[in-house]
Copies of this chain bind each other. A is one copy, B any other.
Amino acid sequence: MSLRFTIQELSEYVEEIFPQIKDDFEILEISENSSRVKLKISFKHLRPGNTVSGPSIFYLVDCAAFMAVCSRLGKEALAVTTNCSIDFMRKPARDIDLVAHCELLKVGKSLVVADVKVYSENNEKPVASATITYSIPPKSDN
């Protein structure tokens, strides 16, 4: 199976359709079943207690899984998040970028399920663990 995008092409595509997020993320790796994406931490991602906010971590989870889904299914996918469950397990340091490792557990006709673990860069204990589900609308031409 060949990928639908190179990292460069996917970055440009996301920048085009989703300009709000372009300065926050760097795509580190994509494959047919996975992605690794970095959240570049800045002031807006922090919360009281010198740490990264929960919504910023959720934002990274959603972005990493969306990148993996795009790589696998291509531009026409229009995947929509239907469910996410996330456990926050450790407080990340405020000055270290976060990296999400996403693995696609199931790519069905109508649902895609992904497992995402989030780490502070170069730390092996996960900050958060999530499962996220996307609904894939039926193709209109059929």
Number of A residues, CB within 8 Å of B = 41
Contact of A83 among B55, B59, B85, B91 (CB under 8 A): B85
A47→B18 contact, CB < 8 A:
yes
Cβ of A3 under 8 Å from chain B: no
- Is A58 part of the binding interface, using a Cβ–Cβ cutoff of 8 Å? yes
Does residue A80 face the partner (Cβ distance < 8 Å to B)? yes
Check A133–B82 contact: CB distance below 8 A: yes
A131 touches B55 (CB 8 A): no
Q: Which residue of B lies closest to A90 (CB)?
A: B106
Given known contacts A44-B20, A82-B133, A89 and B113 CB-to-CB distance under 8 angstroms: yes
Q: Closest approach, in angstroms, between the C-beta of A104 and any C-beta of chain B?
A: 11
**B78–A54 CB distance below 8 A:** no
B78 in contact with A87 (CB, 8 Å)? no
Using a CB–CB cutoff of 8 Å, the interface residues on chain A facing chain B are: 17-18, 20, 43-44, 46-49, 53-55, 58-59, 62, 78, 80-91, 105-106, 108, 110-111, 113, 115, 125-126, 129, 131, 133, 135
The 8 closest A-B pairs by CB, nearest first: A85-B85, A55-B59, A89-B106, A54-B81, A58-B58, A17-B48, A83-B87, A87-B113
